[in-house]
Amino acid sequence: MGSIEDRFVELHPESKPLAEKAMGLFADGVTHERRSMSPYPVYMERGVGPRKWDVDGNEYIDYKTGHGSMILGQAHPAIVEAVQSQMTKGTHLSSGTR
């Protein structure tokens, strides 16, 4: 029987090269200390509602919901529609908007 770390590596092979690349870009390979983990962080690919999937296709329940900022979940249709509508008007206007 393998270790927990062996099982982690087995389940997350696609995250390893992403972590190795990030090591050359960011301190400890992460943009936030909470993302630092051993043997390497897991990289997410997408999210829908209360679930998200990593680059290896593993599914997770998103308990953090963006640390509370995404109470409606990942890719909620109303939010996606509002963001898409706004993006056609500009992405960073450097002043107040309507």
Instruction: Give pLDDT tens digits for 9-50.
Output: 999 999 999 999 999 998 888 888 777 889 999 999 999 989
Burial (0-12, 13-18, 19+ Cβ within 10 Å), 10:
exposed
Tell me the average pLDDT across 40-65: 92
Check: CB of residue 75 under 8 Å from CB of residue 49.
yes
**Which residue ranges make up each domain of the chain?**
1-42, 44-90
Check: CB of residue 50 under 8 Å from CB of residue 20.
no
Instruction: Please determine, for residue 98, whether its predicted confidence score (pLDDT) is greater than 70.
Output: no
Other beta carbons within 10 angstroms of residue 3's beta carbon come to 8
